[in-house]
Structure 1
Amino acid sequence: MRQLLVFGEREDAEEVAETLGEWFPGLGVPRVVRETLAGEDDAEDAQWLVVVEGLHEQALGQVDELVERYDGWREPE
């Protein structure tokens, strides 16, 4: 199942992606993508997503703790 980790800052998303790549080397480094909020013209209102595929259910608690440290959240897709 794919997980989307959502952050307000690009740097936070990149740090989390690198950390997850270290914690779960079999997954590689997850992609970081920019998502503009619907209806928003201001580029400052974009969210940054870390796209993670292949995580085991047991790892989600650990991932949630990491994401919360960076004021983000996880959305299963």
Structure 2
Amino acid sequence: MVDYKKIITIEPGKRFGKPCIRGLRITVYDILDFLASGMTIEEILEEFPKLTREDITACFAYLADRERNLIAI
């Protein structure tokens, strides 16, 4: 399992403080939105050559951890 905490960064002045990949201006939301719209991981990696497969896996790990820590009402 990838340690997303080494890959996903949050900087107040970058993309309005949204979680980004390695300080790039690509957010976790962007990756999930691309996947939800039908892009494959391979297409995302082609479109954004600075990204790695591990970066995309880190987005999933970040989201899973966030979901795990949600408090249900």
Q: Same fold (TM over 0.5)?
A: no
- Name the structure, 1 or 2, with higher relative contact order (CA <8 Å, separation 6+): 1
With normalisation by structure 2, the TM-score equals 0.31
Query: Which structure features the higher share of helix residues?
Result: 2
Query: Which structure features the higher share of strand residues?
Result: 1
